[in-house]
Amino acid sequence: MSTIRKQSIISSVLIYVGFAFGALNTYLFTREGGFTKEQYGLTGAFLAFGTVLMSLANFGMPSYVNKFSPYYKDYLSKKKNDQPTLALSISIIGYIILCLFGILFKPVVASVFDNSPQIIQYYNWLFVFTLGLTLFSVLESLAWHHHLSVFSNYLKEVQYRILVTVLFVLLSVGVIPDFDFFVKTFSFLYLFLTACLLFYLLQKNKIQFTFSISKVTKRMLRKIITLSSFIWSGSVIGAIANMADVIIIMAILPDGLAIAGLYTFAQYLGSVIQVPQRSIIAASVAHLSQAWKDKDHSKINRIYHRSSLNQLIFSVAVFCLICLNYKDAIITLNLQQEYLTTFVLFLLVGLVKIIDMGTGVSGQIISTSTFWRFDFLTGILLLFITLPLSWMLTIQYGFIGPAIANLIGYSVYNFIRYVFLLKKLKMQPFTAASLYSLLLAAVCFFVCYFLFNDKQGVMWLVMRSILFIVGFGVGVIYFKLTPDLIPVWNTIKQKYFWKK
């Protein structure tokens, strides 16, 4: 676990640095005088459509890498390892097919999103953005299996947001002439990050390209095709389920992009809660895949327990921090007042993130095992629950509707996966520390709430946050709620406080 812990902590720090830039971007976009809600909504639309289109284009190649990389590494030299070549080539072929269908169905898309005409205005640029996302997703999975998740996370979480900040500053000072040029430049960002990651992997000599089919590919071809097909279908379904909320809002509600801008704001804050999940998944996938190959169930169970507990502690802490400061921050930072209406939306989005993170890396355990078909089936179930519910509830309740649908869908989805792992493998992620973490967060939240609820201003934002962080952090350390924090805390004390 030390390797996973180290990579997870470093990646989490990097990702939070990225989210600091993300917070700056969100402030610049949503403050009075920043982007209009339609313009901000368009950036959210690029990410929503890009994620769905990327899952279609990559033909399940990240899952192919995640599942079979240990076999290629154990039985082939780097020069004969054809997995990188196959994964990238098949993804490029998938992208070309996607583009052809994109051209064919453009009139249909135009009729569906007539409430959001900017989608059609920048329709072709969505596919430029998708190409970068597609290639990056494959190279990212290769980086994970070479234990280089820190650098790939830096590019995805930090460098991407720095580049967005730079683009906005250039737009503000007139170097970029208008928003139209901003969007077109924005669409190339992931292609630039892909080039950086590819150069890094080549420079580290972690991947090489060969155009001869290896013995591993020949021997396992049937399994590769079967798994990739199922997982690809599941990833497409999962991507649609994850991004259906923004897409449905743009399709159904009048002035869809403006409402999507409000929804994107709440989603961004929800994604801050999810930061540790990204780093833990990136650090643990290779270990889970190898553990399944080695039939090391105790290691899998240990990763399951630790990932659940650590993610739960982080998620409830950040959720409480944002709740405590939500309205005060919008008023104090002079954001557009319409964003005050998104508080209930954030509560729903945040609860979804806590539920999803609290169940640990259950999805990765299933997808890297021989039970990966079950991951596909639960993905279908998630889509069947969230898609019609989102559609109906959006019509009835507006932009709150998709968040309610997601809360219902993801609760059922994670409960089923929890029961499956409990019955099949006799594994479940929760301990008494899970309950104590929730109770500790609740106590710290209500203390801060009743002390500072009627206060506004920068000083009170800081005071409220410091009191919660100190109270919750001391509680976690004192009660030893996570075994992964104690070694880190001891290292910090020895390095900075107990030097001799």
- Tens of pLDDT, residue by residue over 109-136, are 999 888 888 899 999 999 999 999 999 9
- Check: CB of residue 275 under 8 Å from CB of residue 16: yes
Q: Quick check: 27 pLDDT over 50?
A: yes
Q: Say what the pLDDT of residue 449 is.
A: 95
Q: What percent of the chain has pLDDT over 70?
A: 93
Q: Say what the pLDDT of residue 22 is.
A: 82
Query: What would the two tokens of residue 376 be?
Result: 């596909």
Q: How confident is the model at residue 56 (pLDDT cuts 50, 70, 90)?
A: very high
pTM to 2 decimal places: 0.80
Amino acid occupying residue 39: Q
- 106 CB-side CA count, 13 A: 15
Q: Quick check: 492 pLDDT over 90?
A: no
CA 399-405-410 angle, to 5 degrees, is 135
- Check: CB of residue 427 under 8 Å from CB of residue 419: no
User: Which stretch of 225-239, 251-265, 285-299 has the lowest confidence by average pLDDT?
Assistant: 225-239
pLDDT tens per residue, range 193-237? 999 999 999 998 888 888 888 888 888 888 888 877 877 877 788
DSSP states of 195-249 as a string?
HHHHHHHHHTT------S--HHHHHHHHHHHHHHHHHHHHHHHHHHHHHHHHHHH
CB-based burial label for 460 (10 Å; 0-12, 13-18, 19+): middle
Q: What is the mean pLDDT of residues 76-104?
A: 92
| Coil vs helix vs strand at 147 | coil
Chain CA centroid to CA 306, Å:
19
Q: Quick check: 240 pLDDT over 60?
A: yes
- Check: CB of residue 391 under 8 Å from CB of residue 333: no
Q: Quick check: 3 pLDDT over 70?
A: no
**In 368-457, alpha helices (H):** 372-397, 400-425, 432-452
pLDDT tens per residue, range 470-483? 999 999 989 989 88
| Cα distance between residue 44 and residue 47, in whole Å | 5
Q: Say what the pLDDT of residue 495 is.
A: 52
Q: How confident is the model at residue 190 (pLDDT cuts 50, 70, 90)?
A: very high
Q: How confident is the model at residue 8 (pLDDT cuts 50, 70, 90)?
A: low
User: Which stretch of 16-25, 292-301, 439-448 has the lowest confidence by average pLDDT?
Assistant: 16-25
| Cα distance between residue 290 and residue 364, in whole Å | 12
Q: In this predicted model, which residue has the larger pLDDT, 30 or 367?
A: 30
Classify residue 81 as left (phi > 0), alpha (psi -120 to 50) or beta: beta
Burial 324-342 (b: 16+ CB within 10 A, else e): bbbebbbeeeebbeebeeb
Q: What is the mean pLDDT of residues 134-149?
A: 87
| Cα distance between residue 100 and residue 89, in whole Å | 17
| Residue 371: closest CA among 409, 408, 423 | 423
- Phi and psi at residue 335, to the nearest 5°: -75, 165
Amino acid occupying residue 194: T
What mean pLDDT value characterizes the chain? Answer: 88
pLDDT tens per residue, range 400-452? 999 999 999 999 999 999 999 999 989 999 999 999 999 999 999 999 999 99
Q: Quick check: 2 pLDDT over 60?
A: no
Classify residue 170 as left (phi > 0), alpha (psi -120 to 50) or beta: alpha
Query: Rounded to 10 degrees, what is the CA torsion of 337, 266, 130, 282?
Result: 140
CB-based burial label for 371 (10 Å; 0-12, 13-18, 19+): middle
Q: Say what the pLDDT of residue 451 is.
A: 92
User: Distance of CA 165 to CAs 146, 297, 385, Å?
Assistant: 30, 44, 37
Q: Say what the pLDDT of residue 496 is.
A: 47
Q: Say what the pLDDT of residue 148 is.
A: 79
| Coil vs helix vs strand at 335 | strand
Q: How confident is the model at residue 181 (pLDDT cuts 50, 70, 90)?
A: very high
Q: What is the mean pLDDT of residues 244-261?
A: 88
DSSP states of 265-277 as a string?
HHHHHHHHHTHHH
| Residue 232: closest CA among 41, 4, 67, 460 | 67
Q: Say what the pLDDT of residue 494 is.
A: 58
- Check: CB of residue 368 under 8 Å from CB of residue 67: yes
pLDDT tens per residue, range 336-383? 999 999 999 999 999 999 999 999 889 889 878 888 778 778 888 888
| Cα distance between residue 460 and residue 464, in whole Å | 6
Q: How confident is the model at residue 89 (pLDDT cuts 50, 70, 90)?
A: very high
User: Distance of CA 210 to CAs 87, 146, 372, 378, 417, Å?
Assistant: 12, 18, 29, 36, 39
Query: Rounded to 10 degrees, what is the CA torsion of 219, 214, 227, 298?
Result: 80
Q: Say what the pLDDT of residue 5 is.
A: 57
Q: Say what the pLDDT of residue 9 is.
A: 64
Q: Say what the pLDDT of residue 90 is.
A: 94
pLDDT tens per residue, range 305-348? 988 999 999 999 999 999 999 999 999 999 999 999 999 999 99
Neighbours of 490 (CB within 10 A): 11
Q: Say what the pLDDT of residue 6 is.
A: 59
